[in-house]
Structures are given as C-alpha cells and as structure tokens.
Structure 1
Amino acid sequence: MSKQLLILFLGFYCFNLANAQDFQGKAIYLSKTTVDIDLDSRQIPEEQKQRIRERIKNNSERSYELVFDRTASLYVQEEKLEVPTTNGGNRRGPRFSLGQGTGKYYKNVQSQSYVNASEMLGKQFLIKDSLRNWAWKLGSETKKIGNYTCYKATATKEVDTLDFRQFRRFGRGDRQGNTTAENDTIQKDSTKNNSLLARIDTPKNVEIVAWYSPEIPITQGPGPYWGLPGLILEVNDGRTAILCNKIVLNAEEKEEIKAPSKGKAITQKEYDELFAEKMKEFSERFRNGNRGGGNGRRFGG
C-alpha cells in the first residue's frame, strides 16, 4: 500500500512540476525617461527647438514586451516607426551611437545571470554577468495597477559615476578654439566652467521604487529588476518610470524564451571600461575639431 501511495505522490508531483514549467506570461511596459534641457535660454530658432523637443520625446518614450515563465524572461524593446518629416522623408535617430542596448535583455532568476545585447559604434556585444541582488525593503502600502493589487517595495542603487565623469569631460569640449592648457585653466576656475553638463551634480545613490503583485507569484520584472514575491508592474528610479499596461497569462501559443546569441561576449565591467575608453576618444576628437569622419565611428578589424 505504501508503494502505491509513493507512486501516486510522485505522479502528482511530476504533474505539478510540468504545469509549473508550462506556465508563461507576457507583459507590455511603457518606459518614459525625463530629460531636463533648458532650450529657452539658448539662441536657437524656435522651429529648431521644437524639432529638438520632438526628438527628445521620441527617444525618451519606449515600449517593451516581457515574456516570462517561472525561471526566465526576455525583455524586448518593440520597434518604433520612424517619424515622417515635412519634406516627405523619415526622421531617424542620431547618426552617432556610442553605446546603447539593442532591445533584448534576458535574465534567468534560477542561475541569477543575465545576457544583455548591446551595440557600440556598430559592433554587437553580449554582456553576460550575474544579476544584481536588490536589497528590497517590503512595505505595506498598496495600490491598483489595472486589475491587480500591488505592494510597494524600495531599494537603493549606488550610481556608477563613470558615465557622468565621461560626459562632463565631453562637455568641456573646445567649441571656441581653446587649447588643452586653456581648458585646464577654465576647469580650475569654477566660475568659468558654465557648461550645462558641468553644472549637473553627480548623484551618489538612487532610490528605486517598485510595485509588485503577489497575484502573479513569480520573481520577474522589467529589465534588470527582479527578486520580489510577485511580478513587478511598475518601477521608478527618479528619472525613468516603467509601467505595465497589459498582461496576458498562459496564452494558447507559447513563445520561446532564450538568450540573445549574436555578438562578442563580454562582462559588464569590461563593457563599462570599453565604453569609457571610447567616450574619451570621442571627446578628444570632438575637442580637436574632428566631429565627423566615419573612420572613428566603428571598431577596427
């Protein structure tokens, strides 16, 4: 009798395990980043200001699809249609792309690893590394997002000031023909260093506010966010807000969840160091007056 019970228990366990592995969902997120640029004080034609504002708005709002199961997820940026211009052409994004995601971020919460497809100067990279362990503080505050009851959680992220330092250095570019020595003198005198980027304070820590729903009991979320007892439906880091506006659970057609595979494998640290190096090279070329030229826009070899 005990043998029959054991067989029955194992059969029930395998049935539940198969159902758990078969579980899949899809969530659509809208990401919006706030970009503060004072154009009113600039001597720029109003028509050009409007074009800049439209470009910033177009680049700061993106839509993503998160396909997930209980262990893995793939966060994919949805393609955006090009904005038609008044002359009948299409308005494309900036021609120069130093480093940006290509819209595919895979993470596996079981192995606590991720693969992020990224492009730098026309070369594809696969950033492979360990997931950040968010030290979430769970709160009791709740709110509704769609039909789901969500709970608030917060975490603190230490900002890597590398990018800020590099962009500030770029902001010191010689637009008036100053020599390197003159630029150094200006940099020593804080009253003369009035560029926009130089006036930005480098933050040390950023508070991440997330809203998760235990009604969808998986530890997934958009982008690098994970580790809460429920799907993360909203994230805000002060400048970027990510909000879920649609959820589909256990659709009839399943989608394959696998990591991107095209590109050179690299760690996050290696990628950041390479980005800093290319940013320095670009700022030096810009300072020396070489702002164009396709030779420096791609990796050699």
Structure 2
Amino acid sequence: MKKILLWLLCISSLTISAQKDFQGKAIYQSKTKMNMDFGNRQMSEEQKKRIEQRMKSFSERIYILSFNTTESLYKEEERLGAPTGQREGRFQSMMSSFSNGVQYKNVKEKELLESKEFFGKKFLIEEKLETPKWEMTGETKQIGQYTCLKATIVKSIDDVAFRRFRPRRKGNNEEKKEQSSETKKEVTVTAWYTPQIPVSNGPGEYGGLPGLILEVNAGRTTILCSEIVLNPSEKQEIKKPTKGKKVTREEYDKIAKKKMEEMREMFQRRRGGNGRGRGRF
C-alpha cells in the first residue's frame, strides 16, 4: 500500500508540476452538531422544532475552495432566500454575524488573510500561516475516486460562541462557573488527505499535508468534500482580499467577544422591557 501511494504521489506531482496554469476547485459541506439543550425553559414542541430548524440552517453550510499549486481562496457558497418574518429576520441577522468571509492562503509565502464582516463592520485579519505538526497514522480510506491517508493533530478551538447569547437564568455561582469555562478547549482534529492531488491545502485554516485535505473532523464539526474539479474551463483569479480594518486574530477575537456580550445584554433588555440599546465597535 505504501509503495502504491508513493507511486500515486510521484505521478500526480509530475503531472501537476507540468501544468503551468494548474487550478482546481473543491466543494465542501460543513456540518456542526448544535447543543439543543433548552435548560428549564418551558417551550412547546412546535417552538423547539422551529428553533432546531433555524439552527440547522446555520450549522449546515457549503464552501468552495479555489486553489492552484501555492494559493487558495475559501468562501461560503451564496444562498438565496429571505427570512419570513420579523423574528426570523432578527435571528438570521444575528447568526449571519458569525459567517466566515473570504479566506486567502499562500502556502509558499506562509501568508493567511481573512476578510470578515461583523455586524456591518469589515475586518481584514492578517496572520502567519503556520505549518501544523500533523501525526501520520498510516490508515487509509477511499473518498470518492481518491485514496486518502489519515493524519491527526491536537488543536485548541473555541466552542463557546453560542453560549454567550443564552439568557442568564442561572444563579450567580452557576453563572460564574460557566463563565470560567468559556476558554478554548483542546480537541483531536482528524484529517483525510489525498496524495493524488499534491497541493498542501484544504478547507478553512487546514493544510500543511502532502495532498489536498478532503475531510476534517474537529469537535462537533465535520467538513467533507463532495466534488472536485481539476483545471475547470472557467478559471478563477485568486486575489488577496484587501478591504477592511487590518487586525490580528487575537484583536478580532477580542472585538467579537465584546460585541457578542453587548448583543446578549441588548436582547435581555428588550425581553425585560427596559429599553433598547446598541453597542459600538
């Protein structure tokens, strides 16, 4: 098996390197399992189903990765459709603030740029593209027509974004305990990559392997490639995003956390009838 995979890698590398204008496009489906614990809140089954449906539309998304041998653009596929009412509109507006923008990677220059719009304000996140220390397991499996190898890494992820919007219905001790747990936690990320497409890239921030990553499992999120087109007839120019206030990842996370806290307080005031407020960046 190792000899076969090495042969595939060599043949694919020679084929792609011989193509000066090589480009590809991969379609990924991302699904995140949401915590549907409604606590002690009294809700009818119809209300629960309606909330679950809203959360499902947010947690299941489709992304497009356009790539060449060194660069890539990763963005969410545009979806048509409008909210059906005022409540739905407010909910969708809040949820859309967490949507990923356009992400640019240059594996040769070790550059990562991400353009995001957060509550109407544009940001351009700049950071160095780190090479993850993947651990190769030697396991293989077939994804479509591609033979894939398994690699794992332990990574810190933030799994608390949605908790910040939950109403504070608990006692002080419970609330403090929850707030103290709002830190990044470590999870084992599993990636399946194929040497048949020898580009060191993948969905989102994932990459750094000797082949395109076709599947990622990280915590509650699974990202799976559903379609690959190599050398499409319509080429896409891969350009760096340039619009937005330039910030580091740490600066952006602080801004986002502060804004989410403001939004939760605002929703609480509206629910309690104490007036309406609006936070600022």
1:258 and 2:239 equivalent? Answer: yes
Asked if structure 2 preserves the Cα contact closer than 8 Å seen for 1:118 and 1:124, the reply is yes
Q: What is the match of residue 73 of structure 1?
A: 72
1:169 positional shift: 6.4
Between the aligned partners of 1:291 and 1:155, the Cα distance in structure 2 is 47
Q: Can you list the C-alpha shifts for 1:262-282, whole angstroms capped at 9, x where unaligned?
A: 211111111112223323434
Deviations 1:88-116 (A, max 9, x none): x9954523368424431111111111111
| Residues 82-231 of structure 1 mapped to structure 2, 5 A cutoff | 82=81, 85=84, 92=89, 93-96=91-94, 99-159=97-157, 164=160, 171=166, 173=168, 186-188=171-173, 190=174, 204-231=185-212
1:55 aligned residue: 54
Question: 1:94 is paired with a residue of what secondary structure?
Answer: helix
Equivalence for 2:25: 26
CA distance in structure 1 between the partners assigned to 2:83 and 2:255 by the alignment: 35
Alpha-carbon offset, residue 50 of structure 1: 1.6
Segment drifting more, 19-28 vs 212-221: 19-28
TM-score by length of 2: 0.80
Give ranges in structure 2 of 5+ residues lacking alignment: 1-14
Deviations 1:113-139 (A, max 9, x none): 111111222101111111233110011
* Aligned residue type for 1:121: F
Matching residue of 2:249: 268
Q: CA deviation at 1:209?
A: 0.2
- Report what 2:35 is aligned to: 36
Q: What is aligned with 1:233?
A: 214
Q: Which amino acid counterpart does residue 35 of structure 1 have in structure 2?
A: M
Distance 1:98 1:22, change over 3 A: closer
> Structure 1 247/168 Cα, relative in aligned 2: closer, same or farther at 3 Å?
closer
The separation in 1 between residues aligned to 2:141 and 2:164, in whole angstroms, is 43
Q: Deviations for 1:145-176, whole angstroms, at most 9, x for unmatched residues?
A: 0000000000110235xx73x86666563x6x
How far is 1:59 from its partner? 0.7
**Is the partner of 1:62 in helix, strand or coil?**
strand
Compared CA separation, residues 17 and 240, structure 1 to 2 (3 A): closer
How far apart are the structure 2 equivalents of 1:49 and 1:95?
20
1:96 is paired with a residue whose SS is helix
For the 8 Å contact 2:30–2:61, the answer to whether it is kept is: yes
CA distance in 1, matches of 2:273, 2:127: 35
**Which secondary structure does the structure 2 equivalent of 1:22 belong to?**
coil
> Within 2, Cα distance between the matches of 1:291 and 1:234?
47
Give the distance between the partners of 1:259 and 1:168, measured in 2 at CA.
33
Taking only aligned residues, the RMSD between alpha carbons, in angstroms, comes to: 3.4
Q: Cα–Cα, structure 1 residues 115 and 201, in superposed 2: closer, same or farther, change >3 Å?
A: closer
Contact 1:124 1:263 in 2 (8 A): yes
Rounded Cα–Cα distance in structure 2 between residues aligned with 1:48 and 1:98:
21
Question: Quick one: percent identity of the two aligned structures?
Answer: 47
1:201-234 CA distance string (max 9 Å, x none): 8663111000000000110100000100000000
CA distance in 2, matches of 1:38, 1:18: 51
* Gap runs ≥5 in structure 1: 1-15, 176-182
Aligned residues between the structures: 264
C-alpha change, 1:59 and 1:159, in structure 2 (3 Å) is closer
Structure 1 distance, partners of 2:132, 2:76, is: 23
Which of structures 1 and 2 has the bigger CA Rg? 1
Is the partner of 2:259 in helix, strand or coil?
helix
